Amino acid sequence: MLDNPLNSSAISGDFNHRKYRPVATFNKSDRRWPDQVITKAPRWCSVDLRDGNQALVEPMNPEQKLDLFKLLVEVGFKEIEVGFPAASQPDFDFVRKIIEENLIPDDVSIQVLTQSREELISRSFEALTGAKKAIVHLYNSTSTVQREHVFGMSREQIKAIAVEGAVWVKQCAQQQPDTDWTFEYSPESFTGTEMEYAVEVCDAVTDIWQPTVEKPVIINLPSTVEMTTPNVYADQIEWVSDNIARRDCLQISLHTHNDRGCGVAAAELGLMAGADRAEGTLLGNGERTGNMDVITAAMNMYSQGIDPMLDFSNMDKIIKVVNQCTNITIHPRHPYAGELVFTAFSGSHQDAINKCLHRRQTNDVWDVAYLPIDPADLGRSYQEVIRINSQSGKGGIAYVLEQDYGVQMPRWLQVDFSRHVQHLAEQNEGEVSSKEIWQVFRETYIGSAQAIQLDGYQLTRQDNRDQLNATMILENKHVALSGNGQGALDAFVGGLTQLIGADVVITDYSEHTLGNSEQSDAIAYIQLSIDGQRYCGVGQSADIVEASLRAVLSACSRAQLVMSPLPKKA
């Protein structure tokens, strides 16, 4: 009997999982990192201008690189990898430009990357001549697959490459004593390297460099290709920290990639495992699926009350500059930075956000449903938080009208009005703007198309009773109304009941001003029961009594009590 193709675990063709094998997990039974929490920001190093640049279809030109460099400084990076000057003339020229034109702040170290080859190291130091503070980042690949399939070299031969490079770096630095040098070493493809061998190579390099507590060396442990789950990377970082020589004289650095979509998670767990430093790019640009996204990682800390030591308060500017320099458009759902990440279309989400924001006091700790941070912290406005489409509900519609037009609809009016916006959204088959919602609101409750209009009124008071005489316009005819009651509304509804013979009862009412000045209009909301059926109305006027009377007539118009000349019920 043939297998049901729908139940097959493999699809015909080249999509065949059987040609892969799981990466071996790291056997570590004494792990401590799961009990740790991140309490402070690491040393950040931006690699946008090197790792991010070499990943572009069209690498940045000198003007773009300078714009991005200035942005990185403005955001607050103190370590910036500015290029691979031995690999290309544009990178070399850019390094010279920012040094010779004194564009590097005194508290910022520029970093350059070089392979462990004498001529490349020499060229890198030539590019750095005259720099006040610089990091020379030396690397060579140590992984099993690189040793066996790319280089065809033994462990000892690969280690010798690293040691020779360390010697050349030290010698070149001694020839330029006026620069404050920091050395960094990466066993490239660290996550594909046997851990004891990775430590052996790093120890051999630091034997040459002889770091001290006052002058530490950076040991960068890159997830050059993300091969497994982030917890394994954390195990590796913790194991290296426990077994590497001169740990107190080292800064353990992370450089994660995002092949499995876990670049940020791996870096976070790596910091929990004891790392001191993290390399990445703004918005995660980098080879293949990218580097660690520094904005996401730093803002994750910020959302937990930790100072990220980087300033992302002008997020729109950051996005604009990065986009102009890389020609990469940011996804609208990109964490923290995307256009829609703080936007709710769902009705239940909108209602929860609206209620939380209404209850929140200015100095309260941030605790708002569905919003992990305050959008205003990133320069985003609250007008962007709730947007309306066919998935939205009454709470979102109410929020938009209040934010943009000052209308504070009571719940019963929200229920009544939401179906009108829902109908419009379904017709549009997309988002409904605030302006469109306001137009529908006015047409439904306030506009001149209402069947019954108030022409004028007079109100007098005698013996604690109010006498109201009003004139209404119905089908271009004037209709007089007179009533007596406890207050203008009571008198008006009483007179209306006598005039039309219907049973009119006020079931709910509220009012407020639409602004903060004495000249601001008043708006009144009313719900009437007319012969047992409920109808909502809204009135607006500079006079609160007139606004209330107009709200009553709005509800009557919506009840379709269009009777000329409003004869009494028989």
| 5 within domain boundaries | no
Residue 309 shares a structural domain with residue 165: yes
Q: How far is CA 535 from CA 61, 63, 192, 205, in A?
A: 65, 64, 71, 82
Residues 131 and 230 in one domain: yes
Domain boundary among 415, 446, 477: 446
- Domain hosting residue 491, numbered range: 452-558
Residue 75 falls inside a structural domain: yes
Q: Are residues 303 and 409 in the same domain?
A: no
Q: What is the pLDDT of residue 551?
A: 93
CATH code where residue 144 lies: 3.20.20.70
My answer on whether 354 and 378 are in the same domain is: yes
Q: Which two tokens stand for residue 123?
A: 């060229």
282 with 402, same domain? no
Return d(Cα 543, Cα 536) in angstroms, integer.
20
- CATH number of the structural domain spanning residue 373: 1.10.1220.20
Same domain, 429 and 456: no
pLDDT of residue 13: 63
- How is residue 78 written in tokens? 């103190």
The per-residue pLDDT for 449 is 65
- DSSP character at residue 559: T
Whether residue 204 lies inside any domain: the answer is yes
**Domain-embedded: residue 166:** yes
* 418 is a domain residue: yes
**Are residues 465 and 538 both part of a single domain?**
yes
Query: Across-strand partners of 135?
Result: 111, 182
Q: Which residue has the tokens 């409003």?
A: 566
Structural domain contains residue 339: no
161 and 139 belong to one structural domain? yes
Annotated binding site: 51, 255, 257, 291
Neighbours of 128 (CB within 10 A): 24
Residues 113 and 214 in one domain: yes
Q: Which residues are annotated as a binding site for Mg(2+)?
A: 51, 255, 257, 291
- Is 179 a domain residue? yes
Contacts of 143 (CB under 8 A, 6+ apart): 188, 189, 190, 191, 192, 193, 224
> In the listed set 268, 294, 326, which residue is the last one of a domain according to the structure?
326
C-alpha pair distances (Å), 423 with each of 386, 437, 453: 18, 11, 26
**243 and 359 housed in the same domain:** no
- Is residue 157 one of the residues assigned to a domain? yes
pLDDT in tens, the chain (570 residues): 445 554 545 455 688 999 898 887 778 889 999 999 999 999 999 999 999 999 999 999 999 999 999 999 999 999 999 999 999 999 999 999 999 999 999 999 999 999 999 999 999 999 999 999 999 999 999 999 999 999 999 999 999 999 999 999 999 999 999 999 999 999 999 999 999 999 999 999 999 999 999 999 999 999 999 999 999 999 999 999 999 999 999 999 999 999 999 999 999 999 999 999 999 999 999 999 999 999 999 999 999 999 999 999 999 999 999 999 999 999 999 999 998 898 887 778 888 888 898 889 888 999 999 999 999 999 987 767 877 776 777 888 888 899 889 999 998 999 899 888 888 888 888 888 889 999 999 999 987 667 788 889 999 988 888 899 999 888 788 889 899 988 999 999 998 888 877 888 999 999 999 987 778 899 999 999 888 889 999 999 999 999 999 999 999 888 875 344 445 544
Whether 407 and 267 share a structural domain: no
- Total structural domains within the chain: 3
